[in-house]
Amino acid sequence: MKILLTGATGYIGKRLLPILVHQGHDIICCVRDKNRFYIPTEFKEKIEVIEVDFLKKETLHTIPEDIDAAYYLIHSMSSSSDNYDELEQISAENFVSKINNTEAKQVIYLSGIVNDKSLSKHLSSRKNVENILSSGAFALTTLRAGIIVGSGSASFEIIRDLVNKLPVMITPKWLNTKCQPIAITDVLDFLSKSLLNPITYNQSFDIGGPDILTYKEMLLGFAKAKKLKRWIFTVPVMTPKLSSYWLYFVTSTSYKLATALVSSMKVEVVCRDTKINELLQLHPMSYEQALSKALIKVDEDKVASSWKDSLISGRFTSNISEYLQVPKKDCFIDRRKMEIINREYTIHQIWSIGGETGWYYGDWLWGLRGFIDKLYGGVGSRRGRTNKHDIHAGDALDFWRVLYANKEEGKLILFAEMKLPGEAWLEFKIIGNTLYQSATFRPRGIWGKLYWYAVLPFHGFIFKGMLTKLIK
């Protein structure tokens, strides 16, 4: 069967793709930018990649008409603090308009549990999208999930950050809200087994694990799994804005995402029923089992995808291709080079940079820069990286975004996502027996120029020290 997969670069899409390929389907992956989509060599014969932006009707002509089914995994939450619901509506309407003119028999939509009368803006938007999709000429299957637990999921990363960093937590009262978490493995099972399955047509199902827990119980459950002593006290006086700042400064989440999450976490998300479990003969694992599986993946450095790598985790909004050519005109450039001793070693060092490994020299200064960025509403440096030694275009790397990564060429280009009065690139490339390292800054106005000269004294030892450690 030929399946259209939207959101192919997202947390769910990246994990669903290999499952569909192994089931024997031919997959059409919809991406906004081919340059940030990595295809494993063994999948290339079964995958076609097309550039589509569902906010722009003129790009939809690339979608073939002979598709059998489609997954709608598009999510605009936090791409804008004010109008992400409007963007989601436009995307859904354009999607329906196009899919109506194809041979698709079914669309599968992953949504959020919306059984509460008082819905957050996020959940209301999800419900509105479902209503729009249900107007299509195809059979719609909606799977509604609450908190998804898995290595790299936003929920898991937030829980991990809070528990690892705070032995004692003074928390908002919404931590007593009940939810029904589900393991990412089970979500993928529901998504794949619903495909072209007539018993799921034109229906919506709540999917969840067997445990109904408060967010406080989830935090304490994680602490137990990690064998950590943690004390949590809830207070009624913490406003939504203060709660958002609490999440933003303690965890790796962006402020926009923190705001949307706080709004949603005040609403109880518990399954109305679990009839789909019997229909598909699935038995979701417990929260404890989901945590155990996620922690093993993290420990083994086998995180298949992370929410941090989606563009909404930072401030980068354009196609990567627009920034691949590092500019020279009207730019300040710090260029350095050094003869390499062992190419393989240097490549390994470059591909391991950031995250837990650090930046090889002056890590406390890099950390201070990340903290200052957080103070000004930036992404900070807590995002880290998805894998310790593997990098692909589009990945988040501390407060950078990977634009280009090619080991054979020995070339890595990073684009800064921290708050800056301009734009910045950091580039590493090996030519012959020489490693070239350049930091490029394109200032915006007088403040940009002043910024460059303010940090210039630090470049002398930070970049020189880093270059030396990449080689020796």
Pure H helices in 408-444: none
The closest alpha carbon to 307, from 410, 244, 386, belongs to 386
Asked whether the predicted pLDDT for residue 426 surpasses 90, the reply is yes
Tell me the mean pLDDT in the region 90-105: 93
Determine the average pLDDT of the residues in 274-287: 94
165 forms beta bridges with: none
Instruction: Round to the nearest angstrom and report the end-to-end CA distance of the chain.
Output: 52
Domains assigned to the chain: 2-309 (3.40.50.720), 314-471 (3.30.530.20)
Residues 124-131 have a mean pLDDT of: 84
Residue 108 CB contacts under 8 Å (≥ 6 apart), including other chains: 69, 70, 71, 72, 141, 142, 143, 191, 194, 195
Instruction: Determine the pLDDT at residue 81.
Output: 47
Distance of alpha carbon 374 from alpha carbon 399, whole angstroms: 10
pLDDT digits (tens, 9 = 90+) for 256-270: 777 777 766 777 889
DSSP 282: -
Question: pTM here?
Answer: 0.86
Q: Under DSSP, is residue 123 helix (H, G, I), strand (E, B) or coil? A: helix
Computed from CA positions of residues 441, 442, 443, 444, in that sequence, does the dihedral angle turn out positive or negative?
A: negative
Tokens 């030892």 correspond to what residue?
Answer: 461
What mean pLDDT comes out for the span 399-412?
A: 92
Q: What is the DSSP string of 127-181?
A: HHHHHHHTTSSSEEEEEEES-EESTT-HHHHHHHHHHHH-SEEEEEGGGG-EE--
Average pLDDT over residues 76-82: 52
Q: Model confidence over 186-214: pLDDT tens digits?
A: 999 999 999 999 999 999 999 999 999 99
417 contacts 378 by C-beta, under 8 angstroms:
yes
Confidence at 174, pLDDT banded by 50, 70, 90: confident
Q: How far apart are CA 18 and CA 15, in angstroms?
A: 6
Q: How far apart, in whole angstroms, are the C-alpha atoms of residue 13 and residue 4?
A: 11
Question: Over the stretch 107-116, which tens digit does the pLDDT of each residue have?
Answer: 999 998 876 5
DSSP conformation letters of 30-58 = EES-GGG----GGGGGGEEEEE--TT-GG
158-190: burial string, b at 16+ Cβ within 10 Å, e else: bbbbbbeebeebebbebbebebbbbbbbbbbbb
The two three-digit tokens of residue 326, written as one number: 């590092």
Q: Give the model's pLDDT for residue 299.
A: 86
Bridge partner residues of 339 (DSSP) = 434
The predicted-structure confidence for 330-343, as pLDDT tens digits, reads as follows 999 999 999 999 99
Contact (CB, 8 A) for 451 and 443: yes
Question: What residues are paired with 99 via a beta bridge?
Answer: none
Q: What does DSSP assign to residue 301?
A: T
- pLDDT tens readout for residues 335-373: 999 999 999 999 999 999 998 899 999 889 898 898 888
Mean residue pLDDT of the chain comes to 87
Please, which pLDDT band fits residue 283 given cuts at 50, 70 and 90? very high
Q: Is the confidence at residue 58, as pLDDT, over 50?
A: yes
- Reduced to 3 DSSP states, what percent helix, strand and coil does the chain have, rounded to the nearest 5? 40, 20, 35
| pLDDT average, residue stretch 425-439 | 95
DSSP β-bridge partners for residue 429: 411, 436
Cβ(375)–Cβ(399) below 8 Å:
no
C-alpha torsion angle, residues 43, 45, 51, 57 (rounded to 10): -110
How large a percentage of the chain has pLDDT more than 90? 53
For the segment 379-402, the average pLDDT, to the nearest whole number, is 86
Judge contact between 366 and 409, C-beta under 8 A: no
